[in-house]
């Protein structure tokens, strides 16, 4: 808990509208310049920002999130001119990625400059950079006049926040302010690609897919090749920045996935009956189609959160963290999660997040 004079920090809530945008952004930028912490929406998830070049400010992020020291933060930038301040020896391929995907959900890991404090980069010689596609963080970076260290605005180990209420649930009393700018359009964290190695390595899959990266820069190394790793694909070793990547709800998550959608629904039904018969309180995280199958079969659980159609992984991605948080708050013994979503578009990243959240995985 961050304390000032032994007191809990008061977290201010700014609700942005077109009328007050300017004054709120000025106030928030002032908090950042003074070395404080402000959470804000981005198109991926909410971020917790502080002056990325001020080690005392960055320490506040680690304290508020209870983030393990050494886990590197990435920086949000506002323009290409900011790059030279924080990165060096930028490869030509990295510029091609910026042309193709910035502003947007792609974090590019580059060699860092000495201006970036060690606490920000987790003592690594590299730094992740992203130009977000959202006017609030872009303006905040611009008005604060410094790149923002901005990890997801959740307690370490919790699902990332896609709404301001998620941020408050985790960080109220630990940070200076939250800007409520509505729900995150994507709902999953950015794709992270390490451009300090050749071929580049995908460290985390987000809305920018492996195929899309390869169209722009040629071969990349990745474990994320769709549903399953293809035979013969190289698996990159865990990189320094990846060792802390797991977040899991407190409630046990059991994931059912498989190529045949009806089989997945059937298996979830069998597991549900089994757990209920043993007296467990069960929550369901389902596609509309599996929910429809359950209604037809006369099955029901203690709690259910619908992610939308399995044919629309974009919609499901937007609601995933909300669903995990909502079910996690219900005091259940376990959550049965539906892995029958299409792997097109955001589907591969969605399945990846479901797998990370799950402690038990059934493939049917």
Site residues, ligand TXA (CB under 6 A)? 42, 44-45, 47, 71-74, 107, 109, 121, 124, 126-128, 130, 150-152, 189-190, 192, 194, 203-204, 239-241, 245
C-alpha 187/C-alpha 206 separation (Å) is 10
162 belongs to the binding site for Mg ion (CB under 5 A): no
Dihedral-angle region of residue 143 (phi above 0 means left; psi in -120 to 50 means alpha; beta otherwise): alpha
C-alpha 58/C-alpha 117 separation (Å) is 9
203 vs 327, beta carbon nearer ligand TXA: 203
- Least gap, CB of 90 to Mg ion (angstroms): 25
- Least gap, CB of 165 to ligand TXA (angstroms): 16
- Least gap, CB of 319 to ligand TXA (angstroms): 17
- Least gap, CB of 299 to ligand TXA (angstroms): 36
Residues that bind Mg ion (rule: CB under 5 A) add up to a total of 1
- What are 252's two structure tokens? 């046990």
Task: Specify the stretch interacting with Mg ion by CB under 5 A; choose among 7-15, 149-157, 289-297, 333-341.
Answer: 149-157
152 vs 342, beta carbon nearer Mg ion: 152
Task: Specify the stretch interacting with Mg ion by CB under 5 A; choose among 64-72, 101-109, 152-160, 342-350.
Answer: 152-160
36 vs 122, beta carbon nearer ligand TXA: 122
Residue nearest to Mg ion (CB): 152
Tell me which of ligand TXA, Mg ion, none is bound by residue 241, counting a contact when its beta carbon lies within the kind-specific cut-off of 5 to 8 angstroms. ligand TXA
- Least gap, CB of 269 to ligand TXA (angstroms): 35
54 vs 265, beta carbon nearer ligand TXA: 54
Tell me which of ligand TXA, Mg ion, none is bound by residue 225, counting a contact when its beta carbon lies within the kind-specific cut-off of 5 to 8 angstroms. none
Tell me which of ligand TXA, Mg ion, none is bound by residue 150, counting a contact when its beta carbon lies within the kind-specific cut-off of 5 to 8 angstroms. ligand TXA
Convert residues 17-56 into a mask of x (bound to Mg ion by CB under 5 A) and - (unbound): ----------------------------------------
- Least gap, CB of 58 to ligand TXA (angstroms): 12
Query: Is residue 201 within 8 Å of residue 221, measured between CB atoms?
Result: yes
State how far the alpha carbon of 307 is from the alpha carbons of 109, 191, 270, in Å: 32, 22, 20
- Least gap, CB of 193 to Mg ion (angstroms): 16
11 vs 107, beta carbon nearer Mg ion: 107
190 belongs to the binding site for Mg ion (CB under 5 A): no
Tell me which of Mg ion, ligand TXA, none is bound by residue 107, counting a contact when its beta carbon lies within the kind-specific cut-off of 5 to 8 angstroms. ligand TXA
Query: Is residue 64 within 8 Å of residue 48, measured between CB atoms?
Result: yes
- Least gap, CB of 151 to Mg ion (angstroms): 5
Residue nearest to ligand TXA (CB): 241
152 belongs to the binding site for Mg ion (CB under 5 A): yes
Q: Which residues bind Mg ion (CB under 5 A)?
A: 152
């Amino acid at each position: 808990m961050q304390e000032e004079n032994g007191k809990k920090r008061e977290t201010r809530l700014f609700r942005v509208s077109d009328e007050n945008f300017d004054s709120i952004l000025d106030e928030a930028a002032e908090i950042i310049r003074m070395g404080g912490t402000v959470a804000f929406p981005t198109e991926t998830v909410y971020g917790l920002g502080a002056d990325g070049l001020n080690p005392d400010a960055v320490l506040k992020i680690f304290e508020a999130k209870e983030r393990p020291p050494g886990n590197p933060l990435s920086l949000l930038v506002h323009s290409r001119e900011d790059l030279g301040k924080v990165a060096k020896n930028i490869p030509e391929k990295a510029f091609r990625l910026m042309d193709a995907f910035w502003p947007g959900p792609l974090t590019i890991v580059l060699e860092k400059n000495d201006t970036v404090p060690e606490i920000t980069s987790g003592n690594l010689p590299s730094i992740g950079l992203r130009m977000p596609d959202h006017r609030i963080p872009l303006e905040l970076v611009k008005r604060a006049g410094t790149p923002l260290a901005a990890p997801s605005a959740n307690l370490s180990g919790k699902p990332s926040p896609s709404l301001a209420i998620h941020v408050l649930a985790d960080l109220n009393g630990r940070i200076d302010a939250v800007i409520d700018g509505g729900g995150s359009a994507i709902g999953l964290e950015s794709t992270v690609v390490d451009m300090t190695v050749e071929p580049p390595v995908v460290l985390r899959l987000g809305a920018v897919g492996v195929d899309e990266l390869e169209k722009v820069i040629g071969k990349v190394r990745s474990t994320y090749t769709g549903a399953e790793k293809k035979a013969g694909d190289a698996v990159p070793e865990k990189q320094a920045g990846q060792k802390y990547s797991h977040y899991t709800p407190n409630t046990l998550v059991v994931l059912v996935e498989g190529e045949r959608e009806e089989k997945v629904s059937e298996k979830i039904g069998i597991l549900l009956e089994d757990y209920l018969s043993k007296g467990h309180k069960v929550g369901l995280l389902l596609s509309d189609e599996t929910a429809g199958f359950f209604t037809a079969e006369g099955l029901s659980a203690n709690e259910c959160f619908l992610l939308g159609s399995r044919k629309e992984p974009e919609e499901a991605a937007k609601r995933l963290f909300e669903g995990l948080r909502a079910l996690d708050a219900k005091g259940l013994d376990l959550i049965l999660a539906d892995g029958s979503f299409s792997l097109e578009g955001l589907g591969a990243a969605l399945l990846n997040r479901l797998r990370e959240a799950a402690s038990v995985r059934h493939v049917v």
